[in-house]
Chains A and B, each alone.
Chain A
Amino acid sequence: MSDQSVFSHRVTRRQFVVGGSLAGFAAFLAACAGSPTESPSQAATPGVPTAPPVNQTPTPAVPTEPPVPTGPLQFANWEAYIDLAGSAGDEGVYAPGSSPTIEKFKEKYGVDVNYVEKIGDNEDFYAIIQPALATDLPTGWDLVVLTDWMAARLISKGWIEPIDQGNVPNCVNNLRDGLKNQPWDSNNDYHYPWQSGMTGIGYNAKSLRQAGKAAPTSIADLYALPSNKINFLTEARDTWGLGLLKLGKSADPATTTFDDLQAVYDDLAPLVANGARFLDNSYLQDFASKKVWAGMVWSGDLASSGTPGDTFVFPSEGCMVWTDNMMIPKGAEHKYTAELMMDFVYDPQIAAAIENYVYYVCPVNGAAEIMQEMNAEEPLDQYYLDLIFPGPELVAQMHNFQFLSDELETRLKELFLDLKGV
């Protein structure tokens, strides 16, 4: 299948174009850079773990044997996070051979890629790989994608392979400035961002219309819908972050107290008792089956992989913002291939193809311009523009509730487990 057919399929499905919103994009990324801390210094920030030092060994004088890509590359990612074509694209579920990007990579380097939509929740995936990492065993994964706070935790524990920067020139050259200098890995020794995104509210317009309910525009509206038809996220930071905003509190780890967390719990408990669910990306299936009418969701999913009527809204109280990051777990068998993959997706052409499908916020310089060309023929709705290039007024409403102190994190976990009945 040619690229052309892939793109034309996507375009017709989504009425897509990029119109001069690059300013908004830059502003958004600037805001991302500000999170989790504005401080350029490397002084330890409460709640932000620090990375172990890396010895970037100087290139040996004698040229060594060039490394050979090996496979299959074991690549764990989230659902709705890569470009898909054909029937997989319609269903929004990856199947081998369905992603043009993965296929191009396989062709270019002659290695197989086992791309698995394995991650739905940072803590759950951590629980899977932690035992191996803690005992110095390989996890079986070569490349994983996890959110800032979890990435920082893994890096600080020394469980991530340092990236050989010589193998990732595209990453070095094309990473957006706004995403550089993260306090937990300031030189990108261990990570490169995959996508950034927002946590807000989603709903299926058809489900709500049939039930005679108005579409929610705020988190409070969501809470007011029938409890057994809404979902929260298994990602506790997202659920509590939005819960804090709903109560008019600031979703800022620096000022949040135990009482604030408890207030969110008290607010959620009756809804959960009446049937509200905690879901990960599986809300896509529950939206489709009408089991859930509305819920807390991640920004790009409904646009890329939802069914007709699925809509994302930036709640009036504000939303959460985060970045998911590519990393190579300690002991990965195909580390070099994983670096090649990182480099590959930082090629602006490839990044644009992924972005053109997933509707998240791309970390790669130059990708936006290429997307613009791709979609020049058909104008893009403001709805999609807001997802990919959120403007300054949206950026001003974004909050980062990720880097919690140990005490806050433990308290949050306890409350969340209580809420889930375990």
Chain B
Amino acid sequence: MAAAPFLLLAPGTLWLLIFFVWPTLQMLLMSVSTGSLDDGYQVTGSLDAYGTAISRFPKQFGNSLLYGGAATVLDFLIGFPVAYTVAFRGGRYKNLLLFLVIAPFFTSFLIRTISWKTLLGDEGPLLGFLKHSLGVLPAEFTVTGTSFAVVAGITYNFLPFMILPLYVALEKIDPALIEAANDLYASRWQAFRRVTFPLALPGVFAGSILTFIPALGDYVNATLLGNPQTQMIGNVILSRYLTLNDYPLAAALSFILMAGIIVAVTIYARFLGTEQLTG
């Protein structure tokens, strides 16, 4: 009987050991190696790659933090009312509404992002109409190739990752608790602030983590919707890895990103209070 928990954990543990721990260790070793793809890489303990990573790409790290953070906040502001409405006002349309949230995601991530490029193109259906038919925008106005487009793309692409955890948390709330707050003379706003929102915090936490972490590492939106000034750290990792084959630098960049995420999430968890999250 004592072995049961271990047996149950075994598949997951094995999976993570092979596909997460082992590659991560390899990456760690790669990040302190020197050499080239043709001559092979030797682990030399050199920290040069970290020095280069930090000194040469502060802007792209900054862009990642800024765009990932902005997209997460926007997703929360857009997603919370949606999740709230579906959970408390959805009624018999709940499943349909949830389906509608997920439906666009049956299409490939790439296709959706490329379609943004078309939709937001300078002469596309939206801007073309606003510029030429309504004449409310100057002909020079452009959206694609700006940081706004990158943030908008990330926000759009990660929205369900925010809505679904929020919905689950809100859906679990016993309406009787809100009724009780009202009975105790809480206004609707007070009931929301003191009862509903605190109970939804685990969803807020999960949703923002699920959005923020992949958004930080995203490179597709910056590639398709950005310009050379709006590239993110994911783009740098990609180019260093695939174009220059500078594996140590790519690995060092990845580790710095990973460390940054761990620090940010730890602070965030402290700030929200872990006991509320597990409770």
Contacts and interface: CB of A to CB of B under 8 A. Distances in A.
Interface stretch (B89-97, B101-109, B168-176, B233-241): B233-241
Interface string A168-205: 00000000000000000000000000000000000000
Contacts of B239: 417, 420, 422
A417 B228 contact: no
A291 B228 contact: no
Nearest to B235: A422
Interface of A: 123, 127, 228, 272-273, 275, 277, 289-291, 410, 413-414, 417, 419-422
A421 B229 contact: yes
B123 interface: yes
Given A410-B244, A413-B243, A421 B123 contact: no
Interface of B: 59-60, 121-123, 142, 145, 227-231, 235-236, 238-240, 242-244
A182 B244 CA distance: 28
A275 B59 CA distance: 17
| B contact face: mostly helix, strand, loop, or mixed | helix
Contact of A277 (B60, B121, B145, B242): B145
A290 B244 contact: no
B122 A422 contact: no
Closest 8 CB pairs between A and B?
Answer: A421-B228, A421-B231, A422-B239, A422-B235, A289-B123, A422-B231, A291-B122, A417-B239
Nearest to B234: A422
A123 B228 CA distance: 18
Contact of A422 (B121, B145, B238): B238
A209 to B, nearest CB: 15
Nearest to A418: B56
Contacts of A291: 121-123, 142
A420 B238 CA distance: 13
A47 to B, nearest CB: 16
B244 A414 contact: yes
Nearest to A410: B244
Given A273-B229, A422-B235, A290 B243 contact: no
A410 B59 CA distance: 23
26 contacts: A127-B242, A228-B142, A273-B229, A277-B227, A289-B122, A290-B122, A290-B123, A291-B121, A291-B122, A413-B243, A413-B244, A417-B240, A417-B243, A417-B244, A419-B228, A420-B228, A420-B231, A420-B239, A421-B59, A421-B60, A421-B228, A421-B230, A421-B235, A422-B60, A422-B228, A422-B238
A401 to B, nearest CB: 19
Contacts of B236: 422
B123 A127 contact: no
B11 to A, nearest CB: 28
A272 B229 CA distance: 9
A414 B244 CA distance: 7
A89 B121 CA distance: 24
Contacts of A277: 145, 227
